[in-house]
Amino acid sequence: MSMKPTWDIFCAVVDNYGDIGVTWRLARQLAAEHDLPVRLWVDDLCTFAQLCPGASAAAAQQWHSGVEIRHWAPEWPGAEPADVVIEAFACELPQDYVQRMGTSGRRILWLNLEYLSAEEWVSGCHGLPSPQAGGLEKFFFFPGFSATTGGLIRERGLVAERRAFQADAAAQRCFLDSLGVSRLPDAQLISLFAYENAAVADWLDALASGAGLVQVLVPEGRVLPDVARWLGGSPLQPGSCHQRGALQLQVLRFMTQAQYDRLLWCCDFNAVRGEESFIRAQWAGRPLVWHIYPQEEAAHWDKLRAFFERYACSLDDASRSALWGFWQAWNAGEGAGKAWWEMRRHCDALRQLSERWTDEQVTNGDLAGKLVSFYADWL
C-alpha cells in the first residue's frame, strides 16, 4: 500500500487573523476530509492559540484536530521537506528548507497559495509554473470565484449545516445565549467586523435614528475604537451592551472559527473584512458588505470592483446601484448612513442574491479538494 503524501503549510502571520485563519482551516480540512498528514508551520503561536483553544503559545510541536503544529522560529529547527509544500501568501520559505527540497532526490510539489482576487487575470495565472534556483519549480495557486481558479475554502457539508441551523430558531437562540446575547424581538441582527473605518459613525447614527429596532454585535477587533468614539470615548470591553435610540450595540469576546461561522449564520446582515471573514460571510447566505484591506495607490478599489461586478451581476440595475453605493461609502469612509437606507429598500433582492451566489460558488469546487486534485494531476 502506498504511503499518503505529506503536506507542509507555511504561514507568516502578518494581518491579524486572516493568514492564520485561512491556513488553519485549510490544514484541518486536508487532514479531516482527505486523511492527509499535514504539518502547519506558524511563526506567531500567540495568534494561533487565540483561534485554537487549548493550543500552547510556547510549544515547538503540538497536535490539534489531526494537524501537527510546528513553531516556525527565527532559528530554523531544520526539517525534512514534505511531498507537497504550500507557501501561503508569498511568505518566504526558510533557505535551508528550500535547499533540502532541491537535494532530496524526490519530486516535491511547491505551491504559492496566493491572496484571493476576482480580477480577470487570475484565471490565466492560476496553476502556472515559476522556475526556481536548483532546478525546482513553484506553481501559483489562486483561490477564486470561477471554475478555472482554485475555488474557496468550504468544508464538506458546510452549506447544508448552515441551512439547517438557519431553519432552527431554537438552535440559533441557544447559540446566541452561549455568547451572552439575547435577541430582541423583531430586531434586525447585524454583525460588525471591520478595519478602522471612518464610515462607522455615520452608519451607526442612521441605525440609531431609524424606526425599526437594530441589534449590532461587534466581535473584538480593530473597529472597536471607532465604535467607542461614537458612544462617547470610553474603551469597550467584551460583554458591554449600549443602547442609543433604536440601536442596541453589544461587544462580543473573541470567538473560535466555528462560533464565528454561526454568528454570521444568525445575522440578517454581515459587515466583514479582509479575506477569512469575507469568505465565511459568503457561505452564510446573507447580504454583506466587504471592507477590503486598503492598499497603496488605491489598488484595492480595482479588487473591490472586480468582485462586486461578478457578485452582483444578476441583480436588477436599481438593486445593484444601491448595493454598490453602500459598499463604496463603507470603503471610502463617508456617506454610509444615507447609502444604508437606499440599500435597505432592496433587501429582498439582496437576500435572494446571497443564496444564488452560494449555490454558484459550490459548483466551482473547494480549495482543499482542488489542491489535492492538482497534486494528483501533477504526479
Closest CA to 60 of 68, 69, 52, 71: 71
User: All 3 cell numbers of residue 66?
Assistant: 489531526
Residue 152 in contact with residue 361, Cβ under 8 Å?
yes
Residue 287 in contact with residue 350, Cβ under 8 Å?
yes
Identify any residues that bridge with 215 across adjacent strands, giving them in sequence order: 189, 248
Residue 277 in contact with residue 221, Cβ under 8 Å?
no
Name the residues annotated as catalytic: 19, 275
Compute the radius of gyration of the chain from its Cα atoms: 22
Closest CA to 366 of 164, 144, 53: 144
